[in-house]
Structure 1
Amino acid sequence: MALRGPLTRLLRAQPDAALQLRRRAHSVALVGAPLSRGQKRRGVDHGPATLRAAGLVERLAGLGCQVHDFGDLNFTQVPNDELYNNLVLYPRSVGLASQMLADAVSRAVAAGHRCVTLGGDHSLALGSVSGHARQCPHLGVIWVDAHADINTPLTTQSGSLHGQPLSFLLRELQDKVPQLPGFSWLKPCLSASDIVYIGLRDVDPAEYYILKNFDIQYFSMRDIDRLGIKKVMERTFERLMGRRQRPIHLSFDIDAFDPSLAPATGTPVLGGLTYREGMYITEEIHNTGMLSAVDMVEVNPLLGASQEAVKATAHLAVDVIATCFGQTREGAHIAFDELPTPSSPDESDSEQQVRI
């Protein structure tokens, strides 16, 4: 699809960054991040293996991508990892794992790859976004999720760090976020204007306060119903790239989809994205030419009611990633430049007469 409007003018006016990203468009690094300590449910650490088993590598290779699968990072639980403030779970384990992931993502982007982080729970964005920002300090984040994940350690009700990553990453919240053990390495790298949410429908009171008072752009499912997904994406790009071109970090929680499509996940919420809406989001992000990193998180094969439910969730996640790298609903095809022309008829008229 051709780009139109302000984004077209922007890409024409500032070609350097887009050209740099397009040059590495077909080099994709896969980094497995089987992080599970950011939440309470077992099984999300099996997410990377589940996505690979669903044919992710083969799908990307079929799109012409040069896939560099770096395997899974080896996260270890820190012993005696006590609660922070008698509530926040596994801060040292999550902090150490996020630091390892930040280093891995930074190396992948520096090496010229577009990096896909396979989760794991959504606390991994602490590492993936931080590592990406080391190489691309002006990046913009599109956060596709049923949840805002922007509670602070002082407002969280669950204590799970997968509901808090953006509070640590946002500069405007640093006087509201305490220093957790294991987090001394982490520095905020985003401003409120760098983030757009899509698909929200389960937002805590403190999170709603943050979204409103810090002027963070978000599109709830009601907004998607009201505006349509096309207008949502136009406004997303206007917000993130209306003034300057920048790399995009897509952080996609599979629970953004309706649970009827993605049942094998930890915190499903009714009324989510349809398949068509989800694919349109990633098609449009791909069409910008500015996608630099992707998180795919919260696929949990232990929470599927059946093997079919697990497969449906995993294949949906693979579709999301593949669409980020060029799969379209018109078909993903190899290069086809010219139709063949017959050199001669199969049978001459005379041969046909003889047969008659």
Structure 2
Amino acid sequence: MKPSINSKLAIIGVAIDLGAGTPGVSLGPAAIRFAGVTERLSNIGYQVEDMGDIVAIKPVSPHTDGTNLKNLDEVARVNNLLCEKVSTAMSANLFPLVLGGDHSIAIGTIAGVLQHKSNLGVIWFDAHGDINTDETSPSGNIHGMPVAVSLGLGHDRLTSIGGTDKKLNTKNIVFIGCRDLDAGERKILKELGITVFTMHEIDRLGMTEVMTRAIEIASNGTDGIHVSFDLDSMDPVFVQGTGTRVPGGLTYRESHLALEMIAQTEKVVSAEFVEVNPIIDHKNETAKTAVALIGSLMGEWLI
């Protein structure tokens, strides 16, 4: 991605932490803005329109909806609004850049993009699988479910967002950086044949080879690539301000190289950066890292 492909970009914040187990990521969009994301994108050459934040309202109880899913009603409401906002941005020929917030927001982002790109490839950077359902989730936290929902699996309050006929194809989804999968996730990933490049593959093959393969999978027969970047895909040494840290993740440079390689394909149509938690961060460093990574994805070159 670079301004010559689409010079107009929309920032959409989603101030929600109700899908996560640790509070604080609702402040992520503000932290990323404070770290200078608009200025960074403007310097690259984008015309940036900030569409503001969708703000979640914390319910009295996380289980008022009668399911084991925490805060289902509010997470569904927020993602329905996000789906509409992303679709509106794309209708106006704006590249949607969504700032989280917990990773449950990918439900609404992807649903909104699918209104315009029916054959969407996805490159998903995450320490976790995010492919649980209400039947397999050990926690009931919806931020561990967005991939399943985007495939049409899970509670109908979530799978109906954007339309049950607009879903991803398993053959065009790629995970990068996984190192903490629940038993149910390992089972469903194998059954569906989804490509997962764990840290083992990254160590053995190197990031350049992993991304070459990932880009081929996500772009094969698709009409664009969506990038979903969870900051916990990186090693906690580089990102203190994220809630579900797992040792042994991506390095700072591996992350930049991966996003730079995706940018060079000129096939990126949407992106989200999630799970920045300034409450547990140090001097907003994780948000600053997110801004730098956004720059790499959006075509910021040194020379």
Shorter chain as normaliser: what TM range?
over 0.9
Aligned to 1:136: 117
2:291 aligned with 1:318: yes
In structure 1, the gaps of 5 or more residues are: 1-17, 333-356
1:269 maps to 2:246: yes
Distance 1:118 1:69, change over 3 A: same
* Partner Cα separation in structure 1 for residue 80 and residue 233 of structure 2: 26
Q: Which residue identity lines up with residue 219 of structure 1 in the other structure?
A: F
Does the aligned pair in 2 maintain the 1:198–1:218 contact within 8 Å? Answer: yes
Residue 87 (structure 1) aligns with = 68
In the TM superposition, residue 133 of structure 1 has moved relative to its aligned partner by 0.6
Q: Assess if the C-alpha contact under 8 Å between 1:44 and 1:121 holds in 2.
A: yes
Cα deviation, residue 165, structure 1: 1.0
- Structure 1 residue aligned with 2:177, among 189, 193, 199? 199
Partners of 1:80 and 1:147 lie apart in 2 by 26
From 20, 39, 42, the equivalent of 1:39 is: 20
- Write the letter of the residue equivalent to 2:75: V
CA distance in 1, matches of 2:161, 2:98: 20
Q: How much has 1:22 moved relative to structure 2? A: 7.1
Alignment size in residue pairs: 301
1:167 to 138, 148, 160: 148
Confirm or deny: 8 A CA contact 2:111 2:161 kept in the other structure: no
Q: Deviations over 1:261-291 (max 9, x none)?
A: 0010100000000111100111011101111
2:270 maps to a residue whose letter is A
Which residue identity is paired with 2:235?
D
Distance across 2 between alignment mates of 1:31 and 1:146: 24
- Partner Cα distance (1:215, 1:70) in 2: 37
SS in 2 for 1:73: strand
Unaligned runs of 5+ in 2: none
**What is the aligned partner in structure 1 of residue 205 from structure 2?**
227
- Aligned ranges 1:1-356 → 2 under 5 Å: 24-77=5-58, 82=63, 87-171=68-152, 174=153, 177-180=154-157, 184-186=160-162, 187=164, 189-242=167-220, 244-304=221-281, 306-307=282-283, 311-328=284-301, 331=302
Q: Distance in 2 between matches of 1:53 and 1:318?
A: 10
CA RMSD across the alignment: 1.9
Alignment partners' CA distance in 1, 2:159 and 2:72:
8
Distance change >3 Å, CA 170–CA 86, structure 1 → 2: closer
1:240 Cα deviation after fit? 2.2
Q: Partner of 1:246: helix, strand, or coil?
A: coil
Task: Tell me if the contact between 1:81 and 1:93 (Cα under 8 Å) persists in the aligned partners.
Answer: no
Amino acid at match of 2:110: V
Give, in whole Å, the separation in 2 of the partners of 1:214 and 1:193: 9
With over 3 angstroms needed to count, the CA separation of the structure-2 counterparts of 1:192 and 1:245, relative to structure 1, is closer
Distance 1:158 1:83, change over 3 A: farther
Please say if residues 3 and 44 of structure 2, whose CA atoms lie closer than 8 Å, have aligned partners that are also in contact. no
TM norm structure 1: 0.80
Distance 1:234 1:130 in 2: 26
- SS of corresponding position for 1:251: strand
